[in-house]
Amino acid sequence: NKQVILKDYVSGCPEESDMHVNIVAVTLKVPEGFNGVLVKNLYLSCDPYMGGRMKNKPGGIKPGSSIRGHGVAKVVDSGHPDFKNGDLVWGITNWEEYSLIDSPESLHKIEHTDVPLSYYTGILGMPGMTAYGGFYQVCSPEKGQYVFVSAASGAVGQLVGQFAKLLGCYVVGSAGTKHKVDLLKNKFGFDHAFNYKEEPNFDAALKRCFPDGIDIYFDNVGGKMLDAVLLNMRPFGRIAVCGMISQYGNNQPEGVHNLMALVGKQATMEGFRAANYYHLYPKYLEMVLSYIRQGKIVYVEDITEGLESAPAALAGLFTGRNVGKQVVEVARE
Ligand code: NDP
- Nearest residue (by CA) to ligand 1, atom 7, is 151
pLDDT at 141: 98
Answer yes or no: do 131 and 114 share one domain: no
Residue 295 lies in a domain: no
Ligand 1 close to Cβ of residue 226 (< 6 A):
no
81 SS3 class? coil
The ipTM assigned to this model is 0.99
Residue 142 shares a structural domain with residue 267: yes
25 and 95 fall within a common domain: yes
**pLDDT, tens only, 272-311:** 999 999 999 999 999 999 999 999 999 999 999 999 999 9
- CB 38 within 8 Å of CB 96: no
- Cα(48) to ligand 1 centroid in Å equals 6
Residue with the smallest CA separation from ligand 1 atom 45 is 176
In angstroms, what is the span from residue 221 Cα to ligand 1's centroid?
A: 6
Residue 67 domain-assigned (yes or no): yes
* d(CA 216, ligand 1 centre) in Å: 18
For the residues 136-143, what does the mean pLDDT come to?
Answer: 98
The yes-or-no verdict on residue 251 having pLDDT over 90 is no
CATH number of the domain at 15, please.
3.90.180.10
pLDDT tens readout for residues 190-215: 999 999 999 999 999 999 999 999 99
Q: Are residues 25 and 11 in the same domain?
A: yes
Using the atom order of ligand 1, give the atom closest to the CA of residue 273.
40
Cα angle for residues 217, 223, 228 (degrees, 5° grid): 55
320 lines ligand 1 (CB under 6 A): yes
Q: What is the distance in A from the centroid of ligand 1 to the CA of 317?
A: 7
217 and 114, same structural domain? no
78 located within any domain: yes
Give 3-state DSSP helix, strand, coil % of the chain, rounded to 5: 30, 25, 45
Would the CB of 70 count as within 6 Å of ligand 1? no
How far apart, in whole angstroms, are the C-alpha atoms of residue 263 and residue 266?
5
Q: Is 175 in the pocket of ligand 1 (CB under 6 A)?
A: yes
- Average pLDDT of span 67-75: 98
Q: Is the C-beta atom of 151 inside 6 A of ligand 1?
A: yes
pLDDT given for residue 333 in this prediction = 80
- Examine residue 280 and state whether it is found in any structural domain, yes or no: no
DSSP secondary structure of 177-237: SHHHHHHHHHTS--SEEEETTT---HHHHHHHH-TT-EEEEEESS-HHHHHHHHTTEEEEE
Tell whether 80 and 7 lie within a shared domain: yes
Using 50, 70 and 90 to split pLDDT, how confident is the model at 112?
Answer: very high
CATH of the domain at 163: 3.40.50.720
In a domain, 293, yes or no: no
Q: Which atom of ligand 1 is nearest to the CA of 322?
A: 9
Q: Are residues 130 and 104 in the same domain?
A: no
Q: Is the CB of 318 under 6 A from ligand 1?
A: yes
Other beta carbons within 10 Å of 75: 22
* Pair (104, 134) in one structural domain: no
Q: Would 181 be classed as within a structural domain?
A: yes
Give me the pLDDT at residue 245, please: 98
Same domain, yes or no: 134 and 266:
yes
pLDDT at 261 over 90: yes
Report pLDDT for 88: 98
What is the dihedral angle through the alpha carbons of 218, 222, 225, 229, rounded to the nearest 10 degrees? 50
pLDDT digits (tens, 9 = 90+) for 177-195: 999 999 999 999 999 999 9
Average pLDDT over residues 1-17: 97
Is 291 contained in some domain? no
**219 and 146 in a common domain:** yes
Min mean pLDDT across 22-36, 72-86, 112-126, 316-330 is at 22-36
Q: pLDDT at residue 100 above 90? A: yes
Q: Does 92 share its domain with 140? A: no
Residue 114 lies in a domain: yes
Distances (CA, A) of 260 to 20, 40, 231, 312, 318: 46, 51, 9, 40, 30
Domain that holds residue 204: 126-275
Q: Does 173 contact ligand 1 (Cβ within 6 A)?
A: no
Minimum CA distance residue for ligand 1 atom 18? 246
Domain count, the chain: 2
181 plus 238 within the same structural domain: yes
Mutate-to-test residue for ligand 1 from 156, 162, 185, 254, highest number of ligand atoms within 8 A of CB: 156
pLDDT for the residue numbered 6: 98
User: In the chain, what percentage of residues exceed pLDDT 70?
Assistant: 100
**Averaged pLDDT for residues 90-110:** 96
